[in-house]
């Protein structure tokens, strides 16, 4: 029998939205350069994981597109914590580097939290330094984590209402699951958030009552059509490298039920990168404002 597949969901287009952000950033970088400040993004990459290498490469090519200079530190997988510390200290001291990241995950013998804490908080482009995460909890101005910023920007770009919305977040990772609730529950967003994880007893019950699902578990096709309220927005953040290629957390049949879905690839990933650059530009703008004051 013939199968009819009805794709009804709006596509939350991360590439298009990224291009809009880049246009804005490029103009701001031109202004900074004219004032004598060149924003510079540093990356610290340890080891030769192909995924991490491709992400870092993407970040540097983004920099070139908006006029941000970039500094790459690629280190072998077997370096010691002291050698990693030395690379971090160099970027902390380098005036050409206005913001940087330590690409995660690090090889298992290295201490990720120690590395993140060693980053000068004012150069933390990821927004993952404990001072910045702590300031976010306190509601103080801080560098915001890139992926949560990207998710919220994408929802707003497509006029998905956040005020009063029930958002179910799936996954409790440090880069998205934990911080995104802090952003979504600010007065400016005003959403109600449920955070689910592997200990959640009835995941489908939690996702089914959501107006917005943020799927960030890193489990391929975890979210299926039966778990989605008709018309809900579904943001696919997770990435799994499988034999079938890159797969998100959202199964294809979700497009038949949801009102809006972010594709993966082509959804949140490009925005994570765009907000990394936005964070670097904003750091440099603050530097300029401080110099002018
Ligand atoms: N310190 C640190 N900061 C990070 O922000 C960070 C990290 N470590 N470790 C790994 C994760 C993952 N991540 C992605 C960024 C862009 C895409 C992206 O642009 N993806 C493209 C596809 C790229 C491809 O095909 O490989 C897309 O979704 O369209 C994906 C994933 C940043 N991360």
Q: How do the domains of the chain map onto residue ranges? A: 36-121, 146-269
**Positive or negative, the Cα torsion across 151, 152, 156, 162?**
positive
Quickly state the pLDDT bin for 25 (edges 50, 70, 90). very high
**CA-wise closest residue to 242 among 261, 259, 221:** 221
Please report the DSSP string for 73-89 in residue order: EEE-TT--HHHHHHHHH
> Can 59 be counted among the known catalytic residues?
yes
**Is 265 close to ligand 1, i.e. is its CB under 6 Å away?**
yes
126 included as an active-site residue: yes
8 A C-beta contact, residue 210 and residue 232: yes
Instruction: Report the DSSP pairing between strands 99-102 and 40-46.
Output: parallel
Cβ 146 under 6 angstroms from ligand 1 = yes
User: Do 36-121 and 146-269 share a fold?
Assistant: yes
What share of the chain has pLDDT > 90, as a percent? 92
Second CATH level (architecture) for the domain 146-269: 3-Layer(aba) Sandwich (3.40)
pLDDT digits (tens, 9 = 90+) for 226-278: 999 999 999 999 999 988 899 999 999 999 999 999 999 999 999 999 999 99
Quote the ipTM score: 0.93
- CATH 3.40.190.10 assigned to domain 36-121? The reply is no
Residues 248 and 264: their CA atoms lie apart, in Å, by 6
CA–CA separation, 196 vs 261, rounded Å? 19
Residue 293: pLDDT band (50, 70, 90) is: confident
Identify the sign of the CA torsion 48, 49, 54, 58: negative
Instruction: Compute the distance between CA of residue 91 and CA of residue 195 in angstroms, rounded to an integer.
Output: 35
Position 199 scores a pLDDT of: 98
Distance 53 CA to ligand 1 centre (A): 10
**SS3 state of residue 242:** strand
Average pLDDT of the segment spanning 147-172: 98
């Amino acid at each position: 029998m013939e199968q009819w597949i009805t794709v009804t969901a709006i596509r939350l287009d991360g590439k298009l939205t990224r291009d809009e952000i880049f246009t804005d950033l490029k103009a701001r970088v031109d202004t900074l350069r004219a004032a004598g400040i060149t924003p510079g993004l540093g990356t610290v990459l340890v080891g030769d994981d192909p995924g991490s290498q491709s992400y870092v490469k993407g970040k540097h090519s983004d920099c070139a597109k908006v006029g941000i200079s970039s500094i790459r530190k690629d280190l072998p997988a077997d370096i010691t914590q002291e050698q990693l510390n030395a690379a971090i200290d160099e970027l902390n001291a380098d005036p050409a580097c206005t913001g940087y990241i330590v690409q995660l995950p690090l090889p298992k013998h290295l201490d990720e939290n120690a590395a993140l804490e060693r980053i000068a908080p004012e150069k933390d482009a990821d927004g993952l330094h404990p001072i910045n995460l702590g300031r976010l909890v306190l509601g103080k101005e801080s560098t915001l984590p890139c992926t949560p910023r990207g998710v919220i920007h994408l929802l707003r770009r497509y006029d998905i209402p956040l005020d009063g919305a029930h958002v179910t977040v799936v996954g409790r990772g440090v880069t998205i699951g934990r911080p995104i609730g802090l952003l979504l529950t600010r007065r400016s967003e005003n959403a109600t958030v449920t955070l689910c994880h592997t200990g959640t007893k009835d995941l489908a019950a939690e996702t089914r009552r959501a107006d917005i699902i943020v799927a960030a578990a890193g489990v391929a096709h975890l979210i299926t059509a039966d778990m989605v309220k008709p018309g809900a927005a579904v943001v696919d953040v997770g990435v799994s490298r499988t034999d079938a290629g890159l797969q998100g957390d959202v199964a294809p049949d979700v497009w038949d039920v949801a009102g809006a879905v972010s594709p993966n690839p082509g959804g949140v990933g490009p925005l994570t990168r765009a907000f990394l650059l936005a964070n670097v530009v904003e750091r440099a703008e603050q530097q300029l404002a401080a110099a002018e004051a």
